[in-house]
Amino acid sequence: MKRTLIFTGIGIVLAFIILFVFNKATSISNEADFYTKVENGEFEIALTIVGELIAEKSIDITGPDFTQRRNVRSTNIKIQDLVPEGTIVKKGDYIAELDRTNLNNSLKDQLERLTTMHTNLEMKKLDSAVVLNSLRDGIKNQKFTVEEAAITLQNSKYEPPTSIRQAEIQLDKSQRVLEQLKRSYKRRVAKSKTDIYNQEYFISMVERRVKELEEVLAGFTITAPSSGMVIYKKEWRGSKRKVGSTINPFDRVVATLPDLTSMISKSFISEIDVSKIKEGQRAKITIDAFPEKSYTGFVSSIANIGEVLPNTNEKVFEVQIKIDGSDPLLRPSMTTGNKIIIKAFNDAVYVPIECVHAGVDSIPFVYTKNGKKQIVLLGESNEKNIIIEEGLEPGIMVYLNNPEAPEKFRINGEDLIPVLKERQQLRRAENNSYISKNKIAP
């Protein structure tokens, strides 16, 4: 019985010891969560945006050029077949096939028309040969008639004057008929030549049209102009050009072959933030597909004119960030996270933003672990932390939130109040000047 009571007492003591240790550990953990240390070191002010990878340079894979062919008229041509996006091709490899239906029908019509025109030309030549041969026979017969009239006139020199005169008139009439036949023959020859020339000219036009149609149709099977990876062309609305899409004489690009050794992240920044961005600013880039990898780059271009993206009402500006170096893992259309470094400080003293408080007088302060209500002079901030220009030293522990009984903390750093008020007055003057300048109602 006594032994049982002893063991029971020991168990109760051990339980109290374990509970005390647990509470102490929890208290220490909570205390650690309640404070944070004033940090010192590199401090960045950055703008984080989402982007999409594109190649800085690329070769367009295009359909046939219609603009240099006067005899071929075409508007939109449908893409009938296209290799899958991402296909690795060599120069000369098959890329796409365009729909030949309309131009094949046009070619068929022109070939039929050409056959008819050739037949008509042969018939015209044959008719002209028959008519001219008949005219030549008429001229030859008329020459005989003139010769007979001349003989009759010569034999009538011993006849009465009236008979001689009749012979002269007959000879003159025969000669005039002969001249008329010769002139008619010349006109007929000239007309036949003109008709045949015109027919041959129209035939040559149709032949040129047929040749150009055949040349264009030969280009409807599209091959790679060089080696690379096939990337689908993006339409202005953002959709990709694929099977069933159309090209036209002024936009003949079917797909592209990007240069994967030089990549750019294309992003869009709101008009509110674009003024913060400058060309040449450094950037840190991450790739959603490879979260373990990171890259560096710089802002290479900023659009001068804003645009409204589809399905949005916000005006944005295109910003391109060129990635340093190259990586075979990078592919067009990959989503990127871009952190553009707007400002960087090498040796800054900073704390989390939630550590800083302000009273009705707008004087900023922090609560320190050693019981001070420390007035601070603030600098610039990023999305998490804020620079402390004066009032704190690195390593000091400060409260993350309002402590219990804040009235017990003693105020420190009152010598900074005049500087803070001067800054506040200057800031109000700048705001009033801006309101006046831009005629904003207060």
pLDDT tens digits for range 250-304: 888 999 999 888 999 999 999 888 988 999 999 999 999 999 999 999 999 999 9
pLDDT at 438: 56
Burial label, 97 (beta-carbon count in 10 A; 0-12, 13-18, 19+):
middle
The verdict on pTM exceeding 0.85 is no
pLDDT at 38: 93
pLDDT tens digits for range 184-196: 999 999 999 999 9
Mean pLDDT within 7-35: 49
- Of the pLDDT bands very low, low, confident and very high (cuts 50, 70, 90), residue 439 is low
Q: Give 3-state DSSP helix, strand, coil % of the chain, rounded to 5.
A: 40, 30, 25
Distance in angstroms between the alpha carbons of the first and the last residue of the chain: 87
Farthest CA pair distance, the chain: 194
State the residue for tokens 């694929």: 242
Identify the CA nearest to 89 among candidates 206, 255, 239, 252.
Answer: 255
Mean pLDDT within 352-357: 94
Exposed e or buried b per residue across 353-389, where buried means at least 16 C-beta atoms within 10 angstroms of its C-beta: eebbbeeeeebbbbbbeeebbbbbbbeeebeebbbbe
In angstroms, rounded to a whole number, what is the distance separating the alpha carbons of residues 95 and 255?
A: 9
Residues in the chain: 442
Q: Which residue has the higher pLDDT, 13 or 222?
A: 222
pLDDT tens digits for range 376-398: 999 999 889 999 999 999 999 99
Please give the C-alpha separations between residue 290 and each of 284, 332, 334, 338, in angstroms, as whole numbers: 14, 14, 10, 14
* Residues near 139 by beta carbon (within 8 Å), at least 6 away in sequence: 178, 181, 182, 185
Please give the C-alpha separations between residue 324 and each of 47, 49, 56, 284, 315, in angstroms, as whole numbers: 19, 18, 12, 10, 29
* Residues near 134 by beta carbon (within 8 Å), at least 6 away in sequence: none
Q: Using the predicted structure, report yes or no on whether residue 101 has a pLDDT greater than 80.
A: yes
pLDDT at 436: 65
Whether residue 98 contacts residue 79, with contact meaning beta carbons closer than 8 Å, is answered with yes
In angstroms, rounded to a whole number, what is the distance separating the alpha carbons of residues 409 and 74?
A: 83
Identify the CA nearest to 84 among candidates 183, 202, 230, 217.
Answer: 230
Q: Using the predicted structure, report yes or no on whether residue 27 has a pLDDT greater than 50.
A: no
Strands (E), 228-363: 228-229, 231-232, 246-247, 253-258, 263-270, 282-287, 290-302, 307-308, 315-323, 335-352, 357-358
Where residue 364 falls (left for φ over 0; alpha for ψ -120 to 50; beta otherwise) is beta
Identify the CA nearest to 385 among candidates 33, 35, 31, 39.
Answer: 39
Burial label, 226 (beta-carbon count in 10 A; 0-12, 13-18, 19+):
exposed
Q: Which residue has the higher pLDDT, 16 or 372?
A: 372
Query: CB atoms < 10 A from the CB of 24, how many?
Result: 10
Q: Using the predicted structure, report yes or no on whether residue 67 has a pLDDT greater than 70.
A: no
- Of the pLDDT bands very low, low, confident and very high (cuts 50, 70, 90), residue 361 is confident
Whether residue 335 contacts residue 51, with contact meaning beta carbons closer than 8 Å, is answered with yes
C-alpha 257: how far from chain center? 14
In angstroms, rounded to a whole number, what is the distance separating the alpha carbons of residues 224 and 92?
A: 5
* Residues near 76 by beta carbon (within 8 Å), at least 6 away in sequence: 246, 247, 248
Whether residue 433 contacts residue 71, with contact meaning beta carbons closer than 8 Å, is answered with no
Query: What rounded mean pLDDT belongs to the chain?
Result: 85
pLDDT tens digits for range 103-141: 888 889 999 999 999 999 999 899 889 999 998 999 999
Whether residue 58 contacts residue 259, with contact meaning beta carbons closer than 8 Å, is answered with yes
